[in-house]
Homo-oligomer: A and B are copies of this chain.
Amino acid sequence: MGTKKTKNYINRNCSELISLIMVGETMQLLSGKWKMQIITFLLNNGKTRFMDLMRGVEGISPRLLSRELQELLESKMVVRYVTNTKLVTVEYELTEDGKTLKGLLISVANRGTAHLKYLASRE
């Protein structure tokens, strides 16, 4: 492979290439230290209250949980349910769109263990 002119780096739809733009887009939506864990928790446990999320996603602060939930609400990956307007009960749940992240999250989790094994095997 010599240095021909300049390669065509723009992704063509007809090929099997993975779109850099879409990858960037998605990763931006999922950016934030806790977002993936929040989604994972909701995937595992379904509709969940704020304080239960606090307990479930270990280490997160209320400020950050609140912020990242809002971002997930904005991008429509999560819905918010308020039950008692006076005595306050709020639950969060993944939308249908949010639930489509399941396969992705499974891949992510599996890769975690696979990577650890890979590292172990090389040393």
Contact = CB atoms under 8 A, between A and B. Distances in A.
Interface of A: 6-7, 9, 11, 17-27, 29, 36-37, 40-41, 43-45, 52, 55-58, 75-76, 96-97, 100-116, 118-119, 122
Given A9-B41, A23-B37, 9 more contacts: A18-B109, A20-B40, A22-B108, A22-B109, A22-B111, A24-B37, A26-B109, A97-B115, A107-B107
Contact of A43 (B18, B22, B114): B18
A76 to B, nearest CB: 6
A101 B106 contact: no
Contacts of A58: 20
A11 to B, nearest CB: 7
